[in-house]
Structure 1
Amino acid sequence: MTSPATGAARYLDALDRRLASAAEIVLGTEGSPVDGPPGTTAAQLLPLLVAAARLDEAGDDVRWLVLVAVFARYPTSDEFVAFRRSLELDAPESVEADLLATAMRNPARHADGPMVIVRSVVVEVNYSARHDHHTGIQRVVRETVPRWADHHEVTITAWGDDNAALRTLAPRERARVLSFGQDTPLLESETDYVHTVVVPWHTRVLLPDVPVGAASDVLATLARWSGSTVGLVGYDLIPITSADLRPWGEANGTAGLLHVVKHADRVACISRSASAEFRGFVEALPAQGLVGPHVDEVQLPAISSPMPGSGLARPASVRPVVLCTGTREPHKNHRAVVHAAERLWREGVDFELRLVGGFGWSDDPLGDATARLRAEGRPLVELGRVSEQVLWDELRAADAVAFVSLHEGYGLPIAEALSVGTPVLTTAYGSQAEVAADGGCVLVDPRDDDQVTEGLRRLVTDGDLRERLKDEARNRPERTWDDYAADLWDFLTGAEPPKGEH
């Protein structure tokens, strides 16, 4: 067990090294601690860094960096404003004492570890690095970030467990992002991983992953005062604009995202519908004296399948097969598809319905309905969460896909199905209609049970219609993940947008 004295020495040694790194940038000194016991370098450099931060010509970026170096984490907005005011009003030694006291009262979880200041583009992939979940946003991250890493200098990061600073990834986390689904040997032992705080310096911080609500304040502070800019992918604002379809309290996390958006540099939205939502928010910011980010559409690709068929397709069915995809939760509207299927089965229409997708926050009332129908012997198959290979095999084998969500930022399952030539029943508005516009789909009002039933009827009874839609799907304009990754990078890291559009 580490003794208190040893722990204190390790903490002071880490503080020495962080202040030396900051001094190299702020003061132009060598970035190595001076000889002496732990704390010697900090005792020499902290007064010099505080003095530099007090200068009229010092920028807020310098003040932000000094706080990070002392705290071993990013400052909150309250901490930053308090520090700036203290520099104006308090004696230098009082400022130094307050900084150290704050660091000790609210220590970062890894305050005894290393810190690295980077000028390369910083990419945050927290959720995809930590989880094996692989739908929607995670697909975008795992298709996009590896392509960026192949062509650009990037530092790929996640949030620390206290959500107070970005850090380097452990080997297993890197594999989840850069080589997901591959049997990639982990050449570096997980036990060798060292948590290293990543400090962006006059660069861009890109957020393509699920927003981390608990980090929103320190991230907004970074966007406002650190000298680095923040750009993000705008997927949707469903937890706010369709809060009635989402779990109670989820809107709070999205509100945290909007706190970051206020001070971001640009937002790359995945569809025109998503752009409309984010632009609506940005247009309200002048009432707060803010300009807000440049918002534009960088549409997701009409996907070419990343995975060929396994050759182990399920046995051919004598009846048409409809695949209903997506996480089982209310806004995906699976219940409307199951209801339409039951109506058709009662009429004697013969087809099989297969449900693919894991459980979301609630599958009520879907679960009761599917259990009842299966007990009645209806041709309903529930596959649950499946592997990438099984998903693509199912998409290819199906005669049609049903995806009639009530609200989507894009509608990735539609593009996936169409990319392998499978017709889709989908929603006649919003981003789903955008994806369907180039052909291969039957469009319905997802809130109208009669329309959903009639659309499903057409797809399972009209073979000529299915063949025509398959031809349309095969002839859709091709836009690949390579195209998307390149366009997204150019938008998020390119030249400043024209004045008046930011």
Structure 2
Amino acid sequence: MATDPIKQRLRELLATLAPEVSGSGSTADLTSRVARAIGRPRDDVAWLVLAVVTARLPERQSVIDLRRAIALDGAEPALRDIVSAARRRAALRAGFEPRVRILQGETLVDVQHTARTGLATGIQRVVRMTLQQWSAQHEILLVGWNSRLDALRMLTDRERENAIHGTDRDAASAVRSVPEVVVPWESTYILPELAIEGERTSRMLALAEFSRNETAVVGFDCVPLTSAETVGVGMGGAFGKNLAAVARFGRVAAISEAAANEYRGWVDMLGGANLAGPTVSAVVLPSDVGEVDDDGLERAREALTIEDLPLLLCVGSHEPRKNHLAVLAAAEFLWRKGHRFSLAFVGGNSWGDTEFKTQVAQLRRLGRPLTTVTAISDDILWGGYRIARATVFPSFNEGFGLPVAESLAVGTPVVTSAFGSMREIAAAGGALLVDPRSDADVARALEDVLFDDAVNEKLRAEALARPKRGWAEYAAELWEVLVDGSNSVPDDRATTGRGER
């Protein structure tokens, strides 16, 4: 006979709130015992009760409503109403209601998007390289969300593999049903990726504000706030919902000092809503030196170069913020001056890339040595960095600018923007800084680095002399800030906005 899902959840609650109390008996008996364990109205317990009995992480107002109901009518009547509603829902979904498991004292890493995507640049690269280190060094549980984005679950083996290594791009297609959802309690919840789905972020908000969990997030940038004109329609609002949740988190580890300053400025603004906001630290991304053998270098030449011409490499998606139209304009200026070189773009298509694609097609019709690649292996990426005469990254705003650091790490000069995280990365040498809004400035720097041997050699020497810092060091520092740093939060920060204890 199948286990009654409601009774299973009530027993799970009892085992957590009152482990000394018997978990046997009828639903009514279990409801009465849980009600006695709830005691006085408390936001944290109300959050847990809702999460477990409904098998859904609650939203903020639901927690407040339950706490008020307990205060007005008592715990048992309020709990009976929730149990009855859950029972009706279970009857409608006969055979498909999940079990609930409370996770205590664990470290949960939420990689919903990374586990289900084939993307391998930017955020996904940071997440995967970090997980490779953490999974080898620490006890972590990788979690995602159900199809409704209202409950956490453990990843499947295929999703876990894709989250860590990016080798199973169809992992999401294997998820059919969720037999068990998980509820963190007195654990650490880490979000190392960007979450912008409304259902997901609204539940993250309540988890961070009310539950007895430490919460931490990797902060990539605040571009939708600081450069809203460069992001897609709807992204600003979605990012605002993300920030509404992060405002209740305990810690943010920004990927650069520039990104940390953006988050600190935002935290200062939260005082107007009487929110303390998270503690913000900078854990700067590494300057990784990816490995590639001779075969990989040859594959990179075949994929990226044209007619053995000197290669100018541009890595990144084609969204307007990356400023690839300026790269095309500067390249065409140099081609018209008679310079011979090839230009390769490596990166996925994205919103707002219609004009980029149109101009690429026009330049190809003119016979320009230009290629675009949307999906490549690591050996082609790292081979491309090594065989390039130079790389170009004139973005308008970046949380870090990973292609700048990666190119410099292998000794290849970069032309990049003269502000923000890009200037921060370039400070140790190896780059020419430009005004990305000036096509002439970009073209001048590209001409110097591509065709002035003295400039190129000087920049290469500077790049090779830069201090090296890999993913192992980054992951260790990130863990220290996000997990080990949980006891360093001042007492007055630990309770602000977290509900009644």
TM-score (norm 2): 0.90
1:286-321, CA deviations, whole angstroms, 9 ceiling, x for partnerless residues? 221221111010100011215555253426854321
Any idea what SS the aligned residue of 1:161 has?
A: coil
Aligned equivalents of 2:194, 2:261: Cα separation in 1: 20
Q: Which residue of 2 aligns with 1:200?
A: 184
Is contact 1:332–1:405 with CA below 8 Å preserved after alignment?
Answer: yes
For residues 106-125 of structure 1, the C-alpha deviation after alignment (integer angstroms, 9 at most, x for no partner) is 77989622222222111101
Q: Aligned letter for 2:183?
A: V
* Counterpart check, 1:274 vs 2:269: no
Give the aligned partner of residue 176 of structure 1. Answer: 162
In the TM superposition, what whole-angstrom CA distance separates every residue of 1:83-116 from its partner, at most 9, and x where no partner exists? 0000011255531332134436777989622222
Task: Report the equivalent of 2:276.
Answer: 291
In the TM superposition, what are the counterparts of 1:422-437 in structure 2 within 5 Å?
422-437=412-427
CA gap of 1:195–1:427, structure 2 versus 1, over 3 A, is farther
Q: Residues 20 and 41 of structure 1 are in contact (CA less than 8 Å); yes or no, is this contact kept in structure 2?
A: no
Match of 2:86, as an amino acid?
A
CA spacing shift, 1:368–1:92, aligned 2, 3 Å: closer
Code of the aligned partner of 2:184: P
2:64 equivalent to 1:78: no
1:312 aligned counterpart, secondary structure: helix
Distance 1:259-1:101 versus aligned 2 partners, 3 A rule: farther
Give identity over the alignment, percent.
Answer: 37
TM-score, scaled relative to structure 1: 0.90
Structure-2 residue corresponding to 1:496: 488
The aligned counterpart of 2:131 is 145
Aligned mate of 1:62, from 27, 35, 45: 45
Q: Which residue of 2 aligns with 1:130?
A: 116
**Alpha carbons of structure 1 residues 146 and 116: separation in structure 2 relative to 1, 3 Å:** farther
Cα distance in 2 for residues equivalent to 1:251 and 1:150 = 36
| Paired position in structure 2 for 1:221 | 206
Instruction: After TM superposition, give the deviation of residue 263 of structure 1 in Å.
Output: 0.8
Equivalence for 1:27: 18
Q: 1:16: which partner in 2? A: 7
Is the 8 Å Cα contact of residues 205 and 231 (structure 1) preserved in structure 2? yes
Question: Which has the higher mean CA deviation after the structures are superposed, 420-429 or 113-122?
Answer: 113-122
**Which consecutive residues of structure 1, in runs of 5 or more, have no partner in the other structure?**
1-8, 35-39
Hey, what does 1:300 align to over in structure 2? 285
C-alpha contact 1:146 1:177 (8 A) present in aligned 2: no
C-alpha separation between the residues in 2 aligned to 1:352 and 1:191?
Answer: 43
Q: Deviations over 1:375-433 (max 9, x none)?
A: 01111122233222221221111111111111111000111111221111111100111
Match of 1:237 among 217, 222, 228: 222
How far, CA to CA, are the matches of 2:493 and 2:39 in structure 1? 34
SS at match of 1:300: coil
Distance 1:285 1:192, change over 3 A: closer
SS of the residue 1:89 aligns to: helix
User: Equivalents in 1 of 2:320, 2:249: separation in Å?
Assistant: 31
1:206 shift after superposition: 0.5
Of 421, 426, 432, which residue of structure 2 is paired with 1:442? Answer: 432
**Residues of 2 paired with 1:209 and 1:446: CA distance?**
27
- 1:50: how far off? 2.1
Cα 1:460–1:277 shift into 2, 3 Å: same
What code does the residue aligned with 1:196 have?
Answer: E
Structure 2: which 5+ runs fail to align?
A: 495-501
In structure 2, the CA distance between the partners of 1:101 and 1:361, relative to structure 1 (3 Å rule), is farther
Task: Indicate yes or no: 2:155 matched with 1:165.
Answer: no
Q: Which amino acid aligns with 2:8?
A: R
Give the aligned partner of residue 451 of structure 1.
Answer: 441
Q: Partner amino acid for 1:402?
A: V
What is the aligned-residue RMSD (CA, Å)? 2.6
What amino acid is aligned across from residue 154 of structure 2 in structure 1? T
| Counterpart Cα distance in 2 of 1:458 and 1:105 | 72
Q: 1:361 aligns with which of 339, 351, 356?
A: 351
CA contact (8 A) 2:14 2:37 kept: no
Q: Give the direction of change, closer, same or farther, for the CA distance of 1:216–1:193 in structure 2 (3 Å limit).
A: closer
Residues matched between the structures, number: 482
Shift of 1:326: 0.7
Aligned partner of 2:243 in structure 1 is 258
Within a 5 Å distance, the mapping from 1:386-465 to structure 2 comes to 386-465=376-455
SS at match of 1:263: coil
| Structure 1, 85-94 or 75-84: larger mean CA deviation | 85-94
CA distance in 1 between counterparts of 2:233 and 2:405 reads 30
Contact 1:231/1:264 (<8 A) preserved: yes
- Residue aligned with 1:284, SS: helix
Query: Offset of 1:194 from its aligned partner?
Result: 5.0
Contact 2:31 2:80 in 1 (8 A): no
Quick check: 384-393 or 237-246, which moved more?
384-393
Other-structure match for 2:472: 482
Contact 1:344–1:453, Cα closer than 8 Å, also in 2: yes
* Residue of structure 1 equivalent to 2:193: 209
Equivalence for 2:499: none
Give the whole-Å Cα distance in 2 for the aligned partners of 1:479 and 1:92.
54
Q: Per the alignment, do residues 465 and 169 of structure 1 end up closer, same or farther by CA in structure 2, a change over 3 Å counting?
A: same
Q: Which of 323, 333, 355 matches 1:333?
A: 323
Instruction: Select between 376-385 and 173-182 the one with higher mean Cα deviation.
Output: 173-182
